[in-house]
Chain A
Amino acid sequence: MTVLLETIGYSNWILHALVWLPVLGVAVVLGTEERKAKTVAFWCSVIVLGLSLGLWWAFDPTISGFQMESTATWIEAWGVNYSLGIDGISLFMVMLTTFSTSLAILGSFNYIRVRERAFYALMLLLEAGVVGVFVATDVFLFYVFFEITLIPMYFIVGVWGGERRIYAAIKFFLYTAFGSLLMLVGILYLFYQTKNILGFPSFAYGDFLGISLTEVEQLWLFAAFALAFSIKVPVFPLHTWLPDAHVEAPTPGSVILAAVLLKMGTYGFVRFLLPLFPLAAQHPVIVATMLMLGLIGIIYTALVAAVQPDAKKLVAYTSVAHMGFVVLGVFALNVNGLQGGLIVMISHGLSTGALFLLLGMLYERRHTRTIEEFGGIARVAPWFATAFVITALASIGVPGTSGFIGEFLALLGTFESHPVIAIFATLGVIFAAYYMLPMVQSVFFNELETPENREVKDLTGREITILAPLCALMIWIGWNPTPFLDRMELSVRAVIERVESAASTPQAFGETTGVYQPEEAD
């Protein structure tokens, strides 16, 4: 496989293809007939998915930095480059994106009945934007992709969403934009310092890493970046946009939102917060704050989720809880924690994506999402129930599923650095069972009372095609996480080492990178 990929020069063009093929797909979809749009869009996304699978083999786990890099000048006067690259942190995010987009598109065939062309075009545009976020190695480019993803999502929620769709769409938009605009000022500050220190303008991620900042500067910049990413994640108490957006969004919108858009926030934590501002990232107050927010997120949202009458809202809240584990893992500031966080990100993408798809399928059959109205579905739709139970277990984090590996590692990492918080966070796993299992029970088991529930049909071939790979992956990662962990390890280690080296010798750190210590600004 590796040889085959080499002969076609795979690593030279793949990242560009992953960004631009969906854009091409947008044009193709807009050019087709309304009723064929979904098929065309699906095959576009499958081609992208197929191409992205090659990354699994082409990726070299012995390199810690970016690989498959390529750079072209974009805006010369500002030192902005169109440069792409991938490392162990972004690898799985990219694959998760292409994977969930295909499944989300396939899962929306029956759900989206109006304005199909526009819908599928926006889905592909969203895919391009999200892949771009994960592979951009120029901060300006990253920001452009980060912001561009807002537009398709805004329209997906606002046009095809539920009753309160406009409210949810605008809330989503303004919340996220608020954070990213402040981050923009932070980026420009970094740019300004880079220009002064290096003597030439540059937005390159590598150059931003090369300048040394004082602790005060780092704290301010950390705040600006952390706010942007925390809103995106979302970290408690900035999560209030999420339940609205999830509930109002059409199924494929929820899937993409949960599976990949939230990951842009946690990815930002790992990619920017820790390496760029190592002194701030391990400032005791900041670590304590972030860990506490993660912990509160896990426990509070678990309790809130438990009382939701609406199944979709319940799942939406579980997202916040899962992301809490990621925050814990990241701010444990050790290899285990960070790897655990990344696995939780993947696992959450798979399980929550699958849950939203399943709920969408249930909604198509029964036109309700209220938990109480269901009951005994397992008797009439056993395969449906099987898929749902596997997914729910993965979401809870039962051993043998991907959720377990991620949460275990994240908790292990947290325990190494902050045992007390880890002990409390472990309760969160129990809480997950507390909200998820009753829901599964009352929807699928209990008595089959209402006549509508007797009519529920089992999974169709198309739906099995969607759910089978998701369930298989959840179990595969659960039993055999090593190939995933191996590919992440060096990149994760590099991030942790960078943070630790800044801690031990803050002064020497500036000297080793060979740059001049800037004067205090402002």
Chain B
Amino acid sequence: MQLDFTQPLDYWWALLPEIILCVFGMIVLIAGVTRSSLEEEDGDPSFSHGAHLGWLALVGVLLAGIANGWLYGVQEVGDTSMIAVDGFRLFANWIFLVAAALTILISFAYVHRQRLQAGEFYSLILLASAGMMFMGGARDLIVIFLGLEVMSIAVYALTAFNRHDRKSAEAGLKYFLLGAFSTGFFLYGIALVYGASGSTNITVIGSSVSEGLASPGLLSVAIALLVIGFGFKVSAVPFHMWTPDVYEGAPAPVTAFMSASVKAAGFVALLRVFLVAFDASYATWYPIMWWLAAITMVGANLMALVQSNVKRMLAYSSIAHGGYLLVAVTAANQSAAAGLLFYLLIYTLMNIGAFAVLIGVARHSEEHMRVEDYSGFGWSRPVLGVVLTIFLLSLAGFPGTGGFIGKIYLLQGAADAELWYLSVILVLTTLISYWYYLRVAWFMWMKDSEAQDQHDLVQAPLPMQLALLATVAFILYTGFFPGVTIDLVNDSVHGLGNISELVPGFME
């Protein structure tokens, strides 16, 4: 099938996955209000009333996934439409869909025991994911902005979702204020880009920048503003201030969701804008990205070192991973872009997986989050212990896990651009990260439990087991047999502008 976007109907086809998600978001919402989800006090969290909504939402994700697979058979004509139908977008969609599905799976127990409004919760996750997919597929700055807002507003609500918890409300407000502020920068950046190049379409901007038609001064300011806007969303240091508090305060499944897919959406859009639209002004933004990457890696890893709360540690760790991904943006070449997609996928899986175990250990409240709460955890719950150890090793980038292959991929991208200093910073900060990831592992395996029955209440209901099984299996699979995934990401970035023509080795 071919889409040439001369008819509005073609956009319907091109946006099928997003539309399905939005429709299901509304269906779940309506299904949620028809019955009270509070009527069942106890019972199995996997099949209570709230859980039905969760399974319904999963069906929506599955259908969107099928639509996304179908889009692989669709050809687009030209590359100036508002929505791209290319491998890059479709692969990014996989990441968002996987993240949404996993988040829903790990939320069952949490929603049940915290008595959250299941319908609204799951529907917000679907709507946020649709927003992310708009960001990943947009070829127009305005569409990116729309996607950003759809996503952000849903996530603000999700952050503050646990009304019984003050921290959650505080986090929501903080996120909302700072997020709105950063969106202002972003919007102003778009306006200036329009002023400089006369268009909001990324491809058109790209050609006008490369032909030297865009006013360079205005463009530099616009790029700086966009960097700030994106910097907030991907929580790059020094725009990360909101992250630890928000991640710590938000309900744990939401934190998992935010740290994985909100970040992924930010990076996907960032990469497309900078590699396609501002390809020719690489010299302008290269040093900015270089420093942003370096500061993020160093700062986040150092701050993560001193955290004793595991949730907060994972928050800083997610900032650090953002730093590694910024290295790929700085490198801005074929393997870096492919590495970024690969890493985002793996990161989504391992991070949500780690959060899933954290939710289990936290039990009925958000209390058991200290690293001491993991004392002897491995020996009393060996399966969960091994699974969490694998996630930690993968986050640390250890061989045998997808995290290692991902890190090698990013380093290859950096090598192709001859960013040797940045590579060294990346590996040295990885060394720092060993400390805080292994700290959890040593409490788990090398200390004895504080009390005999300390880990008896740890919960891992069926949906969470499914999520853990899927993530662990894929992380090990990509750790040992990454070939298929590497080929897929390699193909996925082909449609993304003419990045291979970039001058490699732009000075250090």
Nearest-neighbour CB distance to chain B for A227, whole angstroms, equals: 12
Number of A-B contacts (CB under 8 A): 85
Surface stretch bound by B, among A165-173, A290-298, A302-310: A165-173
Q: Mark B488-500, 1 if CB is under 8 A from A, else 0.
A: 0010000000000
Known: A148-B399, A174-B435, A185-B411. A521 touches B445 (CB 8 A): no
C-alpha spacing A16/B404, complex, angstroms: 23
C-alpha spacing A122/B435, complex, angstroms: 21
Contact check, B379 vs A74: say whether CB atoms are below 8 A apart: no
Contact check, B446 vs A159: say whether CB atoms are below 8 A apart: yes
A77 interface contact, C-beta 8 A:
yes
Contact check, A185 vs B435: say whether CB atoms are below 8 A apart: no
A181 interface contact, C-beta 8 A:
yes
B11 interface contact, C-beta 8 A:
no
Known: A155-B445, A166-B446. A74 touches B399 (CB 8 A): no
C-alpha spacing A181/B397, complex, angstroms: 11
Contact for B446 among A78, A165, A192, A522, CB less than 8 A = A165
The closest CB in chain B to the CB of A140 belongs to B408
Contact check, B438 vs A170: say whether CB atoms are below 8 A apart: yes
Contact check, B428 vs A181: say whether CB atoms are below 8 A apart: yes
Q: Which of B374-418 contact A (CB under 8 A)?
A: 379, 393, 398-400, 404-405, 408, 411-412, 415-416, 418
Contact check, A191 vs B442: say whether CB atoms are below 8 A apart: no
The closest CB in chain B to the CB of A115 belongs to B379
Q: Which of A74, A77, A182, A522 has the most CB of B within 10 A?
A: A77
Contact check, A185 vs B424: say whether CB atoms are below 8 A apart: yes
The closest CB in chain B to the CB of A165 belongs to B446
Surface stretch bound by A, among B23-31, B244-252, B461-469, B479-487: B479-487
Known: A148-B399, A151-B393, A166-B442. A182 touches B412 (CB 8 A): no
**Complex contacts, A59 vs chain B, CB 8 Å:** none
Contact check, A158 vs B483: say whether CB atoms are below 8 A apart: no
Nearest-neighbour CB distance to chain A for B390, whole angstroms, equals: 11
B420 interface contact, C-beta 8 A:
yes
Contact check, A144 vs B411: say whether CB atoms are below 8 A apart: no
A497 interface contact, C-beta 8 A:
no
Contact check, A522 vs B508: say whether CB atoms are below 8 A apart: yes
Query: Please, how many residues of chain B have a CB less than 8 angstroms from a CB on the other chain?
Result: 34
A5 interface contact, C-beta 8 A:
no
Contact check, A144 vs B420: say whether CB atoms are below 8 A apart: no
A509 interface contact, C-beta 8 A:
no
C-alpha spacing A115/B376, complex, angstroms: 13
Nearest-neighbour CB distance to chain A for B261, whole angstroms, equals: 26
Q: Mark B414-441, 1 if CB is under 8 A from A, else 0.
A: 0110101001100110110011001000
Contact for A188 among B404, B415, B431, B446, CB less than 8 A = B415
Known: A158-B445, A166-B442. A188 touches B423 (CB 8 A): yes
C-alpha spacing A191/B411, complex, angstroms: 11
Pairs across A and B, CB under 8 Å, 23 listed? A74-B483, A77-B483, A78-B408, A148-B400, A158-B445, A158-B446, A159-B445, A166-B447, A169-B446, A173-B434, A177-B431, A177-B434, A181-B428, A181-B431, A182-B424, A182-B428, A184-B427, A185-B411, A185-B423, A188-B411, A188-B412, A192-B416, A192-B418
Given A77-B483, A188-B412, output 5 extra A-B contacts at Cβ < 8 Å. Answer: A75-B482, A76-B483, A78-B408, A78-B486, A155-B446
